[in-house]
Amino acid sequence: MKTYCVALDLKDDPALIAEYKKHHEPGQVWPEVVASIHAQGILSEEIYLLGNHLVMILQTMDDFSWGKKSAADHENLKVQQWEALMWKYQQPLPQARPGEKWIPMEKIFEVE
């Protein structure tokens, strides 16, 4: 199993942040999106919010590939519609390259 931690910001607007949170309440993420997440080898996905800052933690199968996930997402109309809807609320981090949303974070500490 692999663990990934990625970051993204929301637009700093309390009303938009509240809407974004509602879209992520239990049962609100479209079932096709959830199915796509699991189909790509993602075992669990959690999103945390502080102010307008998001951190997503993914637990994946060992053979998980960001490239394969990106290609599958690009071919899935429902995932594309979901991503377009979410972009209403999201904004790239300052260090993001053009078209980049979630940016991998560097792991700097672990206790075992």
pLDDT in tens, 35-55: 999 999 999 999 999 999 999
b/e string for 53-88 if b means 16 or more Cβ within 10 A? ebeeebebeeebeeeebeeebeebeebeebeeebee
Domain ranges of the chain: 2-104
Pick the CATH number of 2-104 from 3.30.70.1090, 3.40.190.10, 3.90.226.10, 3.90.550.10: 3.30.70.1090
- Average of per-residue pLDDT across 25-36: 97
The predicted pLDDT at position 99 comes to 85
- Average of per-residue pLDDT across 61-80: 96
Integer-rounded Cα Rg, in Å, for the chain is 14
- 68's enclosing H/E stretch is helix 66-75
- The residues pairing with 7 across neighbouring beta strands, listed in sequence order, are 55, 103
Spatial CA neighbour of 53 closest among 90, 2, 100:
90
